Amino acid sequence: MTYYSLLALMAATLGAADDFMPYVYFENQEFLANGSNLARMSWSEIEAAFQHPAHADVATFSGLDWTKPYPGPSVDGFEAHLRIANDIPWPESFAKNQSTEVTALTFGLPAAMMDAGKKLPLPMDPSWFICRHYFVSARPDPTEQIDHGCGFLSAECRADMETSLTGNWFQEDPDVPCSALILDPVPASCQDTLGLVRGDVIALNSESLEDASTATAYVTDQITDWSWMIGTGAVDEGNTTAYYDASNRTFIIGTVFGYSSSVDEAKRQTPKLSFACLRPEWIPPSTHNVTSAVPPYSYPPQTTTPATTTTAQSSQPATTAPSGPACVSGTVSPYRTSGDFKELCEFSCTYDYCPPTACQCLEYADTAKASPPVVDSDGCSLNGVTDDDYVHLCSFACSHGTCPEATCKLC
């Protein structure tokens, strides 16, 4: 079984390692499902915070009964759940005295598709393949009541979205039939309403749901360390701007009910797309509070290696990470309100060294550009500057032959 979502990949990897520091998406950005936007949090902190979520929403939608052979009967009662927990602290090693507002998405099945005794789904028939697409937008008016059926999308947008998510079944990847992949943008006809939003995808088949951890995380209404989660960057506890940002995102979920490769050509039909849109009830911010300075980032090694296929525990299907994308162009992050990072980010991001706490990637490619040769001298930040972003970016830039005098020195 192949997943496309980076969160699903990392969840399976951590499941094999019995690790309790799951990954979440650090913040909402255009290239949401990108490796540089992943950050780890304490599962115990997440679990405790979601005992009392600050906001919640639920949408119901119809779909097809995948416990029966394809194409199966139509069935109502699928659910998409949203919960937001505020002020979950980042680990001290990642962002000292900083927290984030985490949104978790979970999903439920109609009662007829569940084993009530085990609280797990009934087996999926091998003739099915399901692709669940996630899009996150801050553009729809949060003061309006959310239409859980996504009726705020124009007819043209919905038609183009259906073509995008169902029209190329088995044409994009010989192993996974999903018509759209991670980082694919919404159609142009949707961008006036949603902005330039790029998606995430989780793909499921009968083998993946045989594993209890996978099934619980992706088709039951239980928040686990495998759940799909996104934060608001790193801010001070009680930051009302972050509360506002988290509670006023609109989540567009497109679930595609399609066939697997085992289905005879004569029985294949265009996959069915079901929409669900989520956003909690509008609550205006009480006071204006500017987001605090972005904290230190947990820096990767200064070498780029391609992603590899990872196999989790024996009961877990093989998972494959996308080979890209790698950053090939960037600039200073709009969230970086202090410091002079422009030249450093423009150089380092070109070679896929683009920490989101200081920089913003502007262009991605399937493979990273080769870094300039390493020189004998290392780089340091200027005297008296202890900001980790300067320390690491100066080291990377100067050791590769570019040492901006305004921010760095040879050492």
In terms of domains, do 106 and 26 share one?
Answer: yes
Same domain as 243, residue 156:
yes
The interaxial angle of helices 212-219 and 6-17, nearest 10 deg, is 140
Q: Is residue 308 part of a domain?
A: no
Alpha carbon distance 385, 282 (integer Å): 42
Note whether 222 and 333 are same-domain residues: no
Identify whether residues 48 and 114 lie together within a single domain: yes
Is 291 part of any domain? Answer: no
- Per-residue confidence (pLDDT) for residue 179, from 0 to 100: 95
* Whether residues 13 and 156 fall in one domain: yes
Residue 141 within a domain: yes
Residue 205 lies in a domain: yes
**Residue type at 108?**
G
The model scores a pTM over 0.85: no
Q: What is the domain count for the chain?
A: 2
Are 253 and 330 contained in the same domain? Answer: no
Residue 324: the pLDDT is 43
Does residue 366 lie within any of the structural domains?
A: yes
- Residue 42, in any domain of the structure: yes
Asked whether residue 230 falls in the same domain as residue 114, the answer is yes
pLDDT in tens, 76-127: 999 999 999 999 999 998 888 999 999 999 999 999 999 999 999 999 999 9
Which of 46-55, 313-322, 327-336 shows the lowest mean pLDDT across its residues? 313-322
Mean pLDDT throughout 161-166?
98
Residue the block writes with tokens 């039939």:
177
Q: Looking at the structure, tell me whether residues 272 and 329 fall in a common domain.
A: no
Mean pLDDT of the chain: 84
Question: Domain range holding 358?
Answer: 325-410
Confidence of residue 173 (pLDDT cuts 50, 70, 90): confident
Q: List, as one string, the DSSP characters of 314-342.
A: TTSPEEE--S--EEEEEEE-TT--SS--H
| 177 shares a domain with 70 | yes
- For residues 283 and 84, the answer to whether their CB atoms sit within 8 Å is no
Residues 108, 185: one domain?
yes
What pLDDT shows up at residue 334? Answer: 65
Is residue 318 predicted with pLDDT exceeding 50?
no
What is the side-by-side strand order in the sheet with 23-25? Answer: 38-40, 23-25, 228-230, 99-108, 74-89, 55-64
Residues 262 and 334 in one domain: no
Q: Are 34 and 183 in contact (CB under 8 A)?
A: yes
Q: Is residue 315 part of a domain?
A: no
E strand map for 208-337: 228-230, 250-259, 272-278, 309-311, 318-320, 326-332
Give the per-residue pLDDT at 259. Answer: 97
What confidence tier does 331 reach under pLDDT thresholds 50, 70, 90?
confident
132 close to 204: Cβ distance less than 8 angstroms: yes
* Domain identity same for 156 and 216: yes
